[in-house]
Amino acid sequence: MLLSEVLRSSKLLKVLDLRDQETQEEIPNEIFNLFHLKHLDLYDTRVERVPKAIGKLQHLEFLDLGNTRVRELPVEILKLQKLRVLRVYQQVDSSDDDYGYHGFKAPSNMGVLLALEILDSIDASSGSTVVKEIGKLTQLRELGITKLRREDGKELCSSLANLTSLHRFSIESIGEGGDDHEIIDLNHPSLSSSFLRSLRMLVLSGRLEKMPQWVARLHGLVRIDLYWSRLRGEEDPLESLHRLPNLGEINFCGSYQGEGLCFKAGGFLNLKWMHLKRMEGLRWMTVEEGALPRLQNLFLDLLPLLEELPLGIQHLSQLQQLYLSEMSSEMIEKVENQKEESEDYTRIAHIPEIVIGCYTDDGEWRERQLWEK
């Protein structure tokens, strides 16, 4: 009621931010009379649908429907020719962001929104038409795609070749969880050198038969996230990444099915943050001297078969925090029961903060520090 009162008397309003508010499921009709509105933020509200009246907001440049229940946009969205930012997504599992996001189903000729710079996240399950339209949005700096079909991978690579200003790219294959993702097929030679130069962040969520060959040429890449790739043992994900000069952050979750990871000397020279999670087959890790020289944060999370800390962890001279979350009881026992001056103790004595996290028998989450502060 308060909102309706305000909107009736504020015809010149340009910015309306309702982020995190307890709204109704319907967007108030009064909003669509705000002809001058440029910025509409409905993130984390209860909105479930967008009516056709959205087309009346001709000056709208920013529309955020992230973390709402909206899963489809009407064709009238295409009237918003000034739209630069469009975010519409919802977590698949609200309690665990490892399982990705739902995107929105877009009108088939989405490519007419030529001013778009941020598009997150568009549902590609309807096929190659929407994937082809993405290639017309040449101003994009951020792009999120969900439910990509394997057979549309080649068409997507052709579209990506046109996106020469893209900094952040996130893609999920069809699937609702870690076990039923379709294979992402991006091994096609059509990607332009401009695309490869501009990309700073890459998120791949879904099965990979092998790492896309072009990943090794992403010399500007700062961060890569791989979720549920399930790469086989002979497809070591580190091979494509260890020479990337600007890579500063790696997040792997369910990414690799092999038994071991070896960080080779001279590799990952600028990596500062690494999170390894849910790789059920991983039994050993090795860090050669001269690898990961700037690593500051190492998170090992839900790696049930890893019974030892990485061999060569003493070489990580810049490591500030080692976080062990829900690791095997064998590993935790070895870490906690070391005697000073023992070989195991001297390997990790240089790390200022070692945190151990686990659930107790009564379901409570507990964290404890290995060293007294």
Q: What is the pLDDT of residues 179-205, one digit of tens each?
A: 567 899 998 887 888 889 999 999 999
> Could you tell me where the DSSP H helices lie in the chain?
2-8, 128-134, 153-160, 193-198, 329-336, 343-348
Beta carbons within 8 Å of 327's beta carbon, 6+ residues apart:
300, 301, 302, 303, 304, 306, 356, 358
Q: How far apart, in whole angstroms, are the C-alpha atoms of residue 108 and residue 305?
A: 47
Q: What is the pLDDT of residues 56-97, one digit of tens each?
A: 999 999 999 999 999 999 999 999 999 999 999 998 887 777
Q: How far apart, in whole angstroms, are the C-alpha atoms of residue 324 and residue 276?
A: 10
CATH for the stretch 1-83: 3.80.10.10
**Any bridge partners for residue 322, and if so which?**
298, 354
**Any bridge partners for residue 62, and if so which?**
39, 85
Query: Which residue from 103, 278, 68 is spatially nearest to 175, judged by alpha carbons?
Result: 103
Q: How far apart, in whole angstroms, are the C-alpha atoms of residue 19 and residue 42?
A: 5
Per-residue pLDDT of the chain (373 residues; tens, 9 = 90+): 667 777 777 778 999 999 988 877 888 888 898 899 999 999 999 999 999 999 999 999 999 999 999 999 999 999 999 999 999 999 888 777 788 899 999 999 999 999 999 999 999 998 889 999 999 999 999 999 999 999 999 999 999 999 999 999 999 997 654 456 789 999 888 788 888 999 999 999 999 999 999 999 999 999 999 999 999 988 999 999 999 999 999 999 999 999 999 999 999 999 999 999 999 999 999 999 999 999 999 999 999 999 999 999 999 999 999 999 999 999 999 898 887 777 778 899 999 999 999 998 888 999 999 987 5
Q: Where are the domains of the chain?
A: 1-83, 259-373
Q: Which pTM value belongs to this model?
A: 0.93
Burial 88-102, CB ≥16 within 10 A → b, else e: bbbebeeeeebbbbb
Query: Which residue from 235, 227, 177 is spatially nearest to 204, judged by alpha carbons?
Result: 227
